Structure 1
Amino acid sequence: MILVLRALGVGDLATAVPALRALRAAHPDRQLVLAAPAWLGPLVELVGGVDRLLPTDGLDRLDRPAGRVELAVNLHGRGPLSHRLLAAAHPGRLFAFANAEASHVDGPDWDDDEHEVSRWCRLLGWYGVPADPTDLDLRRPGPVPAVSGVTVLHPGSKEPAKRWPADRFVALARELTGRGHRVVLTGSASERAVVARIAYQAGLPAAAVLAGRTDLAQFAALIAGARLVVSGDTGAAHLATGYRTPSVVLFGPVPPARWGPPPERRRHLALWAGARARPEWDGVGVHPALVDLGVAEVLAAVDEVEQAVRVDRAVAA
């Protein structure tokens, strides 16, 4: 059995797809068990290659799976807690970044500035398992009811620093609607009130508010069939990358060089004002790099990715 730890969120799982597929290809006859939150189950199905999900929330506890763990792979972090959690399963071997505190020196050094996708591919490569960082495409969802052809605006984020100001989403929704986009707004159930206010102020109907009304499978289907996604650095952006849905991703505290879409994919454009002069941030509220992004700049990015789509279609015709 191969036990892989990645007990995080949607974007975290999406960025680990190349590494998971590399492990599947390297060990086709071994059961691959992924330790991740149970609610990610529908997305795990869309990754493919994972035989079983071991429900795991964070690093408080890891239930030991039945059977012998021949290989444990830490795709969660640099350790020591995650290393020790996997070591408690008594694996025959552990693939992980070097961490002296966890008494694990058999691994490469961690690089804080590395892109999240490349990080895990490099880890496996160090152990002789080749991984393709471009292998990010997700399986298409099954027949899950979802609106198609819409423009998805995703204003929310678990981290306040990553939330582009709501009034700018209002202005963006108005402008895109005027251009003929069918705009819907997504988010979690806890974000529904904020999203509903954005929709109301933008003149959108109540039916455009999908926050809290889709489960993960439906949300993935919505992104897969969308015309465009505009989002902060969240799971929605990573799903758009996985489905090659045109997207504009707004970055704040973390630069796109670490979490952004592949730069060679013209349908995905990351915006980051981090290189501009800006006031020091006290860690409260929206990050200044996001505040520096105006509506006009986002609309220009929308034009650019939609032009890329038109070119791709013309070439394919």
Structure 2
Amino acid sequence: MILALRALGVGDLVTATPALRALRAAYPDRELVLAAPGWLAPLLDLVGGVDRLVPTDGLGSPAPTPPAPHAAVNLHGRGPESHRLLAGTRPGRLLAYANPEAGHHDGPSWRADEHEVDRWCRLLDWYGISADRTDLDLRRPAPGGVPTGATVLHPGAKVPAKRWPPGRFAALARELAARGHRVVLTGSRDERATARRIAADAGLPPDAVLAGRTDLGRLAALVAYARLVVSGDTGVAHLATGYRTPSVVLFGPVSPALWGPPPGRSEHRALWRGEQDWPRWDGVGSHPTLAAVGVDEVMAAVDDVERTVRVSGAAAT
């Protein structure tokens, strides 16, 4: 058995896809087990290669039970907690970033300025396992009754600093609807009230609010068959990358150089104003780098990405 730890969220799982597929290729005859939150299970078939999920909700969970794995792979982080969690499974070998505090002197050094996809590919490469950073495409699910061809606006994010102001999402939704887009609003159950307010302000019908009404599998299908996705730096943006669905992603305070769409893909645009000097942030509401992005700028990016997709589609035919 090969045990990989990635006890995080949707975007974290998607960015680890190249590493997980590399482990599958390196150990074709071993069971590949992923220690991750149980609610991510619907994505496993879309990533492919993972045989089984062991529900692991963060580093406070107990170590996965025996048998001891042939190898344990820390795709979670560099800290002593994640190293010790995996060491507790008594693996034949631990593949991880070096952490003397945890007694792990093997492995490469951590780089804070590295893109999340590259981080885990480099870790495996250090151990002689080749990983392709461009191998991010997810398997396309059946539509499953979700709208196809919709423009998905995802105003929420777990981190408040990453949320673009709701009023701007409403203005954006109004403009997109006026141009013929079928706009839907996604999010968690806790974000449903915000999505309803945005829909009302934008003049959208109540059935445009899908927040709290789609499980993870249906959300993935919605993104896979969408016309366009506009969101902050959150899991939905990574699903759009995995399906090459045209997207505009609003970044702040974290740079797209660390979490953005991969270079060379014409389907995606990342908006980032973090290279400027900003006043001190009081920690309330959208981060200044995100709040600085206006509706006109987003619409320009939408026009640009859709024009690019049309041209590339015409060239392909």
TM-score (norm 2): 0.99
- Quote the residue 1:132 is aligned against: 132
- What letter is aligned with 1:285? G
Give the RMSD, CA atoms, in angstroms. Answer: 0.9
Change (3 A) 1:63 1:88: closer
Q: 1:237 offset after TM fit, Å? A: 0.2
For residues 93 and 253 of structure 1, what CA distance do their matches in structure 2 show? 37
- Quote the residue 1:52 is aligned against: 52
User: 1:172 aligns to what SS in structure 2?
Assistant: helix
Q: 1:289 offset after TM fit, Å? A: 0.3
For residues 62 and 199 of structure 2, what CA distance do their matches in structure 1 show? 41
User: 1:108 aligns to what SS in structure 2?
Assistant: coil
- Quote the residue 1:236 is aligned against: 236
- Quote the residue 1:106 is aligned against: 106
Question: Is 2:212 aligned against 1:212?
Answer: yes
User: 1:297 aligns to what SS in structure 2?
Assistant: helix
- Quote the residue 1:20 is aligned against: 20
Q: 1:63 offset after TM fit, Å? A: 4.0
Q: 1:265 offset after TM fit, Å? A: 0.4
Is the 8 Å Cα contact of residues 249 and 270 (structure 1) preserved in structure 2? Answer: yes
For residues 2 and 270 of structure 1, what CA distance do their matches in structure 2 show? 35
User: 2:269 aligns to what SS in structure 1?
Assistant: strand
Is the 8 Å Cα contact of residues 54 and 65 (structure 1) preserved in structure 2? Answer: no
Q: Which runs of 4+ in 1 moved over 4 A?
A: none
- Quote the residue 2:268 is aligned against: 268
For residues 306 and 280 of structure 2, what CA distance do their matches in structure 1 show? 34
Is the 8 Å Cα contact of residues 246 and 306 (structure 1) preserved in structure 2? Answer: yes
Q: 1:62 offset after TM fit, Å? A: 3.2
Is the 8 Å Cα contact of residues 11 and 238 (structure 1) preserved in structure 2? Answer: yes
Moved more, 264-273 or 63-72: 63-72
User: Deviation digits for residues 138-197 of structure 1, max 9, x if unmatched?
Assistant: 011135221000000000001100000000001100101111101000000000001100
- Quote the residue 2:158 is aligned against: 158
- Count of residue correspondences: 317
Structure 2 unaligned regions, length at least 5: none
Is the 8 Å Cα contact of residues 5 and 34 (structure 2) preserved in structure 1? Answer: yes
Is the 8 Å Cα contact of residues 267 and 309 (structure 1) preserved in structure 2? Answer: yes
- Quote the residue 2:33 is aligned against: 33
Q: 1:75 offset after TM fit, Å? A: 0.2
- What letter is aligned with 1:235? G
- What letter is aligned with 2:114? E
For residues 168 and 128 of structure 2, what CA distance do their matches in structure 1 show? 47
User: 2:108 aligns to what SS in structure 1?
Assistant: coil
- Quote the residue 1:2 is aligned against: 2
Residues 295-310 of structure 1 aligned to structure 2 (within 5 Å): 295-310=295-310
- Quote the residue 1:180 is aligned against: 180
For residues 272 and 69 of structure 2, what CA distance do their matches in structure 1 show? 42
TM-score (norm 1): 0.99
Q: 1:65 offset after TM fit, Å? A: 3.4
Structure 1 unaligned regions, length at least 5: none
User: 2:297 aligns to what SS in structure 1?
Assistant: helix
For residues 163 and 81 of structure 1, what CA distance do their matches in structure 2 show? 29
